[in-house]
A = this chain, B = another copy of it.
Amino acid sequence: MDDELPGDLAERIRRRNGAATIYDIAELAGVNPSTVSRALGKPGRISKKTEEKIRAAADRLDFQFNPMARALPTGRSHTIGLMVADITNPVIFGIVRGAEHTAAAAGYTLVIAESQESGEAEAEAVSRLLPSVDGLILATTRLADERIVKLAERKPVILINRRVDEVASVLPQVEEGVTELVAHLDDLGHRSIAYLSGPETSWISRRRWEALLDAAERRGMAVVEIGPLSPTIDGGRDALRRVQAARPSAVIAFNDLMAIGLIQAATAAGIHVPSDLSVAGFDDIFGSELIVPALTTVRAQLQLAGERAVGKVLEALHDAAEPVSDEPLATTLIVRGSTGQVSAR
């Protein structure tokens, strides 16, 4: 292949670690660099013939655009940032996968940062990320509304599981899922429910609680909120004492992780799930069907959420193939073993 390359060209490229530039191609093809840029970047702008010639030269040199050089004049890095609270929370997987794929399909790179559930860390990570991305997805953010609005003024920002006026978001159907779950518990004879709430700054935890209040009220059921708690297995575990004190017959946890923790703690304490206590969660994460009893939960379309979020970023960048739906993501009640008939006490 490259045995015919002019010596100096070959030498230059070697020194650059094998990375060819449009100048190399221009030289090889005997055209101006700007022509190369156009041939490779604006199909049709250059005559068929020269384009061919340039493409051939580019192939020969194994050319790839230098993304940084490209980003400088255009201001587009072709990179999308995804902030998550906790990478090890399985809820994130689906989102990450969906986001990564649609991003990659559109030629975008996904950058992931973790805030460890800390607003501080999140703010810092976000400002570190912001200059280098074209858009930002905040999944389960703990940032204050004003901060988010400020961010959205600088770059496209998409929220997952959070609503802030004027900022685009991808949301699940909260009411539908909660209503269905409460109906299910009602059918099983439960009259008193405890809700394990997540962090105070979690918008979606608040929404679920409000929906639960509504649904319980409509059915004349008793509900109490226990929390705020850490949205983790440990958070669920630690809540057992307060759950016992409240004596509900069923518990709805803000997420599956907490539900799993509660089931573990209850089982360890000799409380049988579901005969002594029914437990349900949200998200249907990996692990929910592994635990015994398997967890009743409200499944969310996480991967789709990730896809839509990226889609909306692309839309905002005028880079989308087609408009992205604004419909809330449908949820599905998955009934498994952790909820059961209320026992006669």
Contacts and interface: CB of A to CB of B under 8 A. Distances in A.
Given A68-B72, A71-B68, A97-B88, A111 B110 contact: yes
A77 interface: yes
B114 A100 contact: yes
A64 interface: yes
A334 interface: no
Interface string A90-107: 100110110011001000
B87 A77 contact: no
Interface in A97-152: 97, 100-101, 104, 109-114, 125, 127-132
Interface stretch (A187-195, A219-227, A286-294): A286-294
Nearest to A64: B131
A38 interface: no
Chain A, interface size: which category? 35 or more
Interface in A5-21: 17-19
B77 A88 contact: no
A148 to B, nearest CB: 15
Copy count, this protein chain: 2
A250 B109 CA distance: 44
Given A110-B111, A132-B109, A17 B154 contact: yes
Nearest to A303: B88
A118 to B, nearest CB: 13
Interface string A38-79: 000000000000000000000000001111110110000101
A11 to B, nearest CB: 17
Contact of A131 (B66, B88, B111, B125): B66
Contacts of A291: 290-292
A215 interface: no
Contacts of A96: 87, 112
Given A17-B154, A128-B109, A286 B64 contact: no
A114 B90 contact: no
Contact of A87 (B17, B72, B93): B93
A19 B94 CA distance: 33
Given A69-B72, A132-B67, A154-B18, A111 B113 contact: no
Contacts of A104: 113, 125, 128
A113 to B, nearest CB: 7
Contacts of A109: 111, 113, 128-129, 132
Interface of A: 17-19, 64-69, 71-72, 77, 79, 87-88, 90, 93-94, 96-97, 100-101, 104, 109-114, 125, 127-132, 153-155, 260, 286-287, 290-292
